[in-house]
Amino acid sequence: MRAGPLNQRIALQYRAAGVDAAGQPTGAWTELAAVWANIALGSGLESVKADRETSVVRASIRIRWRTDVTAAMRVVHGATVYEVMAVKPDMARREYVDLVCEVVK
């Protein structure tokens, strides 16, 4: 894969298993890796959730081939946080992985 299209630095994060002093799960986000990516914002739509209108922005994020990315992770790019909805690996050539994401904040 050419490096040219991968022009955005992102952080892949996962929820760490751990407990606080009271024995409650912390659920803190921990960085798995900082990688180069290509972020393509897709569709945006509005929906009603909890009797409020909210906007949903979807994005496709392409990174180099990895086998440790799951749909339970998130992507952070600057101040924008993306929730990974699906992981679509390129099984034929094993060059890249596409992450189907939604903007959280």
SS3 for the chain, per residue? CCCCCCCEEEEEEEECCCECCCCCECCCEEEEEEEEEEEEEEEEEEEEECCEEEEEEEEEEEEECCCCCCCCCEEEECCEEEEEEEEEECCCCCCEEEEEEEECC
> Per residue in 7-28, pLDDT tens?
999 999 999 888 878 888 888 8
pTM: 0.81
Query: What pLDDT is stored for residue 34 in this prediction?
Result: 97
Higher pLDDT, 100 or 53: 100
Residue 91 in tokens: 């099984």
For the stretch 34-88, pLDDT in tens is 999 999 987 666 655 656 666 788 999 999 999 999 999 999 999 999 999 999 9
